[in-house]
Structure 1
Amino acid sequence: MQLVVARIGRAHGIKGEVTVEVRTDEPELRLGPGAVLATDPAGVGPLTIETGRVHSGRLLLRFAGVRDRTGAEALRNTLLIAEVDPQEVPEDPDEFYDHQLMDLDVVTEDGTEIGRITEISHLPSQDLFIVERPDGSEVMIPFVEEIVTEIDLEEQRAVIDPPPGLIDDRAEIASARDTEAAAAGAAGETAPEDQA
């Protein structure tokens, strides 16, 4: 099975290095020297990682055969794809590969069906589940432990405890007028239109 593990960013320096946006929890395993990766678009690869290093918090890679800035810049926005055994699972029991999470049913803790995961979006701050609801609409659910309370691969479901307003429009928002009316009522005041 093929998994996207990174996207190539801009060239770094003049010797063929590129920045990469890492899309795997195991960069040391997937993006180490000697790794041969397929690419999207396919015509660019396969690419063999020659060297890798971290610079200012970003991973820099150099590929075999890419020796200058022009060659590195030509790789920009290319997706790097690793071949992974479908039975392989991450070492950490709280981590999952995207393919394990795709098509899971999403339900609330009381069993209410929300939909199924159709896509996983990897953002810099967190990952998001894109969930297709039974009516065809989509909802985005942050993949954080406060909201996603359980991933049950045997039952093929993700259990969530969503805050108000995340999956529906039941957010509890009081308008300024309601707040003022409540304060006036608590103080024993009457609104001007109620006065005789």
Structure 2
Amino acid sequence: MDVVVGRVAKAHGIGGELAVDLRTDLPETRFAPGSVLAAKLRDGTSRNLTVAAARNHSGRLLVRFAEVLTRDVAETLRGTLLLAGTEDLPPTGDPDEFYDHELEGLVAELADGTRVGTVREIVHGPGGELLVIVRETGDETLVPFVREIVPAVDVAGGRVVLDPPEGLLDAR
């Protein structure tokens, strides 16, 4: 299974370097030199890119790929999604820690079994992680991913249990 680990924001400099918005907790592993990522271009085509180098810069990762040697080529990759496989990820070692791809697609329900929606994605913000829940109505709700509000995660059972404070799930 492939998961999105980054999105190309823009070209950086004249040597083909790319500014990448991260979508992974493991940038040092995913963007290690020699790593091969699948690149899904905006036109729907795909190609593989090999990481030559990566470094942090102003909240983004600057990545140089072996196949991208000029700024002109780098400009064509703006908006490209970078994907990596999940099969080679090491276990987290903590029963209360999860990879994003393990949570995406889980059913969100209340303790009494009432279905609330489905986890679409996890947003990593400065204040902590948020579950983006797509409600049965099609609306989205952001739920803080903290034990007080999400007391149980059952990956094998395909669900997360919510105990929301009053008003969190009210329609807006």
Question: TM-score interval w.r.t. the shorter chain?
Answer: 0.7 to 0.9
**Are positions 1:132 and 2:135 aligned together?**
yes
**Are positions 1:119 and 2:120 aligned together?**
yes
CA contact (8 A) 1:89 1:97 kept: no
SS at structure 2 position matched to 1:6: strand
| 1:145-178 residue CA offsets vs partner (Å, 9 max, x unmatched) | 0422221223332122212222125x9xxxxxxx
* Residue 158 of structure 1: aligned partner: 160
Q: TM-score if structure 2 supplies the norm length?
A: 0.81
How far did 1:66 drift? 1.4
Give the unaligned 5+ runs of structure 2: none
* Residue 14 of structure 1: aligned partner: 14
State the alpha-carbon separation in 2 of the partners of residues 121 and 106 from structure 1: 13
SS at structure 1 position matched to 2:142: strand
Give the unaligned 5+ runs of structure 1: 172-196
Letter of the 1:34 partner, please give it: G
Letter of the 2:2 partner, please give it: Q
How far did 1:52 drift? 0.4
Which has the larger share of strand?
2
- Seen in structure 2, the aligned counterparts of structure 1 residues 103 and 141 have a Cα distance that, compared at 3 Å, is same
Which has the larger share of helix?
1
Most deviating of 52-61 and 86-95:
86-95
State the alpha-carbon separation in 2 of the partners of residues 63 and 86 from structure 1: 21
CA contact (8 A) 2:119 2:131 kept: no
Q: TM-score if structure 1 supplies the norm length?
A: 0.72
State the alpha-carbon separation in 2 of the partners of residues 122 and 139 from structure 1: 13
Higher relative contact order (CA 8 A, sep 6+): 2
Q: Which has the larger radius of gyration?
A: 1
